[in-house]
Every structure is written in C-alpha cells, then in structure tokens.
Structure 1
C-alpha cells in the first residue's frame, strides 16, 4: 500500500505539469517551418493563417483560396501565446499582407479564463504589429466542438470579449463561425467534426471558407 501511495503521489505533480505546455515543446515544429522556408520559400504579400490544429489540419488551404497567396503556420495543440512567443520566426519573416488566426479552445482547456484569452489575442495583435504596423488581422471565433462541449459557456464569453476588443481596434476583425456551427438547440453538432469531435471534417471547413473568404479577398490582394 505504501508503494502504491508513493507512486500515486509521484504521478500527481506530472498531471499539473502537463496542464501548460512549455514553449520549448514547439521547437521541432518551428525548426520544421524554417527548413520548409529554406527549401520552398513562401510567397511574398501572402495571407498568413496561424494558430492551432484547426489551421494545421487545413491541408487544402491553398486550394480552398486559389485566388490568394497563403501560408499555413498552424501547429496543433498550441495556444494563442505560443503564436505570440514564436512570432519572430513564423510571422515576422513573411511580412504578410493579412493574418487569419484560429485558436482559443486549447487556451480554455488548459485553464485560462475568457478574459485571459482575450488578453492573449490582444498581445498577439501588438506583437504582429510591432513588425508590420497596421497589418489587418482576423480572429476566427473559437468553435463549439463536441469534444469541448463542457467549455461552451467559457467559449461564448471568450468570443464575446474578443468581438468587443476587435471592435475597438482598426483593421482587427472578429469572424463568427461559432454561431452557424451551433444547432437549432444552441448546442454543438456532430456534422462538422471527425470522429474525435474536435477536428473538423470537410463540411466544417467549407462552412469556414464561406465566412473567411470575403474578408480574405478584401485584405489579401
């Protein structure tokens, strides 16, 4: 029993440690982006899509926006602060014409409050504009996924706070994919998602394309 208790106590701190992923965890992803940039130089004056797995998994991004030059710099599992931390490596070198960010569900899942998520996005805007003053930035609202259904109240509040923040900033836009992804009962729907209930299927991305395209077309040329 004493040995079992020791093992349990040894494991508890690990759970707490895993709650917030250190920035260093993403170093291999950053190195891979940089290696790709060396072998396949990214286009100039492109629209940069950045954020978490919903961006990373968007493998058809270039084909879905054939009228635009696009760069995909999503890395799965990341929070908004990771994109800010690595902005010198995955934002600044590209001098994008415009930026589309999707993130937020991982932030809330890791325990950030809606207010902290808003502040993290504001910090990203500040960091991106320190390099490219006035670059247009769109925040794709945090989606109502089946996997994070328990976080729906926090997701609603976070989205509302970011919408309000964006309204105070020049050329910062909130793109609402949250509302159309809800069912008539106001709850998340399986039809947008793959088997894990978190990552979207093609139907989900097609909904996003219809909402993002008008903004991207207006700012990406």
Structure 2
C-alpha cells in the first residue's frame, strides 16, 4: 500500500529525525568515550628525568602557567604537572592514573581556587583535598606534600572568606600529618590588606613579580621542612641556615 500524499512529509520528517537521533547517539558515544579516556590519562608533564631532587608541581593554571618554574626552583628539578582551569576532582582523577615508576622527592600542590569560584562549598573542596592526599598516600607513600594556600586574586576577592576557611582547614590538616606542610602565600600577595600589583590584567593569574614572591615562599618552605639528608644532596646551601 502506497503512502498517501498527505503522509509523505510526515514520513520524511520522521526518517530525518531518526537519522539525526542516530548521529547524535554515535557522537555522544564517541565524545563520551574520548572524555572518559582523556580524564583517565596521567597528569601532564610526565618526565623522563627521575632522581632524588625531582619535585612535582601539581595544580591548576597557577601551576601550569609558571613558565619560569625550572629556573626558579633550582637547584631542585622542578617538573610542571599543572592543568589550566582544572578543578580538584579533575586533578584527582588524573593523578589516580599516574604511571610514574618512582615518586618525586615532594609534591607542591595548588588547587581549590577554581572549585570555590565554580560554586563548590568549602566542605566539598576540603573533601577533594583529602581525597588527593589519600591517592598520594596510596600511590607514593610518605612523599611530602606542600599545600600552597589559595591566593587572594582580585577577580575572586568576593571569595576571600571561603578561601580563608579553606586555608585554615588545609593548615590544620598539615599540622596533623607528618607528610604535609602548609605554605601561606597570602601575606606576600597583599598590600594594605588588598591584593598588591602581583597579578596579570585579568586579576586572576600571577605576573612576574607574583611568581617571584611565590618562588621565595616555596623555597623557604622546602628549606625548612625537607629532611637534612635530602637537602645535603639537593640543596646543601639551605643547611647553612639550619645549622
């Protein structure tokens, strides 16, 4: 039986809709599969250089945009493993699938600023921090982690109270764990109680002077907290201030 002239447009429309639905299903399957695979890749910046003085710098764009990191962190071997725009959950997913044959000497960690800005609560953000530390312990044992406090970015000044709560809890975690240290970067980036001229025009990312202050704070924390035998091998000059 042939379709009537009146039903032909409907049949054509349904056939077209069916093709579109099939195409969308195929695209979703492929794209979703690609996202699943990419999310389970190790952190970027995996290096062939493994040794007693290697440090991993893990975190969001403040880490990934630190282009002078290797020079700034000498004599340590700084390995940039940051992900621009990342949340803590994304970082956790990546590091959980890391394939490094040897752990670094320490991990310097900065994340959470994006999470709070994207609407996550302080409790959620702290839970993700604890999850990161749990993954670290499972994969890399007692490797030290240096948690850098959330920076007082001008663009996110309205999140200052939440950042303060996160920072206080992160410090409390560090005080309770021998494998965690806390690096308070906030005072170095403020002038008169407001963000100083240490940020890019976007009011979010650090400029050259901001990274210089960041570098000093991280070096001081490493020099103070790393074991003497490690400093003797990697940064002997730091022992002069501890003798």
Give the one of 196, 215, 219 matched to 1:213.
Answer: 219
Deviations along 1:69-120, one digit per CA (max 9) or x if unpaired, are 1211001111122221111344744511100001111010111111222221
What's the CA shift for 1:44?
2.9
In the alignment of these two chains, the number of paired residues is 193
1:146 aligns with 2:157: no
Is structure 2 residue 194 aligned with structure 1 residue 200?
no
Matches within 5 A, 1:159-170: 159-170=167-178
Q: State the match for 1:27 in structure 2.
A: 38
- The counterpart of 1:119, out of the listed 113, 127, 131, is 127
- The answer for unaligned runs of 5 or more in structure 1 is 1-22
Name the CA distance, whole Å, in 2 between partners of 1:121 and 1:31.
18
Name the counterpart of 1:48.
56
Task: Verify the 8 A CA contact 1:137 1:171 in the aligned structure 2.
Answer: yes
Measured on the aligned residues, the alpha-carbon RMSD in Å equals 2.5
Structure of greater Rg: 2
* Partner residue, 1:19: none
Q: Return 5+ residue gaps in structure 2 as ranges.
A: 1-33, 235-243
Matched position secondary structure for 1:214: helix
In the other structure, the counterpart of 1:8 is: none
Give the TM-score of the pair, scaled to structure 2.
0.72
> CA 1:107–1:65 in structure 2 vs 1: closer, same or farther (change >3 Å)?
same
Distance 1:31 1:123, change over 3 A: closer
Secondary structure (helix, strand or coil) at the match of 1:41 reads coil
Q: Secondary structure at the match of 1:86?
A: helix
Structure 1 length as normaliser, TM-score? 0.79
